[in-house]
Amino acid sequence: MISIEINKSSQLKEIPNPENLGFGTIFTDHMFMMDYTQDQGWHNAKIVPYGPIEFDPSMMVLHYGQETFEGLKAYKGNDGEIFLFRPEYNGQRLNDSNKRLCIPEIPIEDFIKSIEALVKIDRRWIPEGIGTALYIRPFVFATDASLKVHPAKTYKYMVILSPVGAYYTEGLNPVKIQVEEEYVRASVGGVGFAKTGGNYGAGLLAQEKAAQNGCSQVLWLDSKEHRYVEEVGTMNVFFVKEGTLITPALSGSILPGITRDSVIKIAEKLGIPVEERKIDIHEIIEASEAGQITEAFGTGTAAVISPVGTLVYQGKEYCFNHHRIGEISQKLYDLVTGIQLGEIEDLYGFRHIIR
């Protein structure tokens, strides 16, 4: 296991008012960093004051995008205890992404240790209040000074922290989503299942197009037939069809979300039938017209559950549950956030206490 050298900041910042946190623009006092070289492996683990870092302009990640990242949150319970939510899953997923991008794996215990150590040092930054948390962003990138296309020989792994408010300014209010028929997010055989920056860069144009049409995100369809539902924006997607929770099966082009997996496990325990399968957009449209789709929502760490109020498909609008959050969506939101904050019993072993 790594040992971490700690160099504390001598000038601590002022903690911002929890009401104006927004998402991902404020950073804490410290950051974690660790290097990889072929002969030493992962080494030089340290926590240092947060700040800019200097690199060679030819640094490989800037040119060829060899990078992966994760996203999770730390929560403070009522009695002051600090929790993470299923961090070993994030560690496993980071390594699955790393394998796909030819990046050396990081032992899961070191991944968790890096996060625990940093969160403990900056624990005064964990906001208290509904919908707030300390967002944790681990990331790995190729640092070779080289324009040659090859898997790099050197890497940096870093962790930064950002106190966040509710992800969507609209809160739990349902949003309007555009079904995207031209651009695609990912294809089978590509990197859609990996958390890598390129997936996000490739998605921006469709997002802009949706925003121009008054929609807050896009519903992605598969790359081959432009017909099967994949994800909503940067979240996994669920529909409630005649009382059954349906979500696209993990096909290789879909990111295996931890919120997605948690929602499925919780729903099953509640006795709600769950189907992971291919979902044809025509099935959703026809079922909407027949009044069989009662709820739709996205899932992800940032927003937890984000209800979809309206789908826009080929210029026509399809509204779910009179544009209000549905009963099942609300229940799943309450249960997931209740477990995350330590307010309800964790029947699943999801909560990870930082001691």
CB of 203 to ligand PLP, least distance (A): 8
Q: How many residues bind ligand PLP (CB under 6 A)?
A: 14
Q: Which is nearer to ligand PLP, 94 or 235 (CB)?
A: 235
Long-range pairs of 35-38 with CB within 8 A, sequence gap ≥ 24? 35/143, 35/154, 35/155, 35/156, 35/157, 36/104, 36/154, 36/155, 36/156, 36/157, 37/153, 37/154, 38/153, 38/154
Give the SS3 label for residue 134: strand
Per-residue HEC secondary structure of 288-322 comes to HHCCCEEEEEEEECCCEEEEEEEEEECCEEEECHH
Segment interacting with ligand PLP (CB under 6 A) among 28-36, 75-83, 229-237, 284-292: 229-237
Neighbours of 256 (CB within 10 A): 15
Instruction: With CA atoms as reference, report the closest residue to 77 among 345, 259, 258.
Output: 345
Q: Which is nearer to ligand PLP, 143 or 340 (CB)?
A: 340
Indicate whether 231 belongs to the interface with ligand PLP (CB under 6 A): yes
Q: Angle 87-100/108-121 helices, nearest 10 degrees?
A: 120
Indicate whether 30 belongs to the interface with ligand PLP (CB under 6 A): no
Compute the distance between CA of residue 134 and CA of residue 114 in angstroms, rounded to an integer. 15
Instruction: With CA atoms as reference, report the closest residue to 236 among 269, 262, 267.
Output: 262
Indicate whether 71 belongs to the interface with ligand PLP (CB under 6 A): yes
- Which residue from 143, 217, 247, 299 is in contact with ligand PLP, where contact means CB under 6 A? 299
Compute the distance between CA of residue 343 and CA of residue 164 in angstroms, rounded to an integer. 20
CB of 325 to ligand PLP, least distance (A): 19
CB of 235 to ligand PLP, least distance (A): 5
* CA distance from start to end of the chain: 18
CB of 68 to ligand PLP, least distance (A): 11
Q: List binders of ligand PLP among 189-208 (CB under 6 A).
A: 195
Q: List binders of ligand PLP among 253-272 (CB under 6 A).
A: 255, 257-260
Whole-number CA gyration radius for the chain: 21
Q: Which is nearer to ligand PLP, 192 or 326 (CB)?
A: 192
CB of 218 to ligand PLP, least distance (A): 12
Q: Which is nearer to ligand PLP, 255 or 264 (CB)?
A: 255
Indicate whether 283 belongs to the interface with ligand PLP (CB under 6 A): no
Residue with tokens 């403990």: 120
Indicate whether 235 belongs to the interface with ligand PLP (CB under 6 A): yes
CB of 213 to ligand PLP, least distance (A): 21
Q: Which is nearer to ligand PLP, 31 or 302 (CB)?
A: 302
Q: Which is nearer to ligand PLP, 30 or 195 (CB)?
A: 195
Compute the distance between CA of residue 279 and CA of residue 319 in angstroms, rounded to an integer. 18
Tell me which residues touch ligand PLP (CB under 6 A): 71, 195, 231, 234-236, 255, 257-260, 299-301
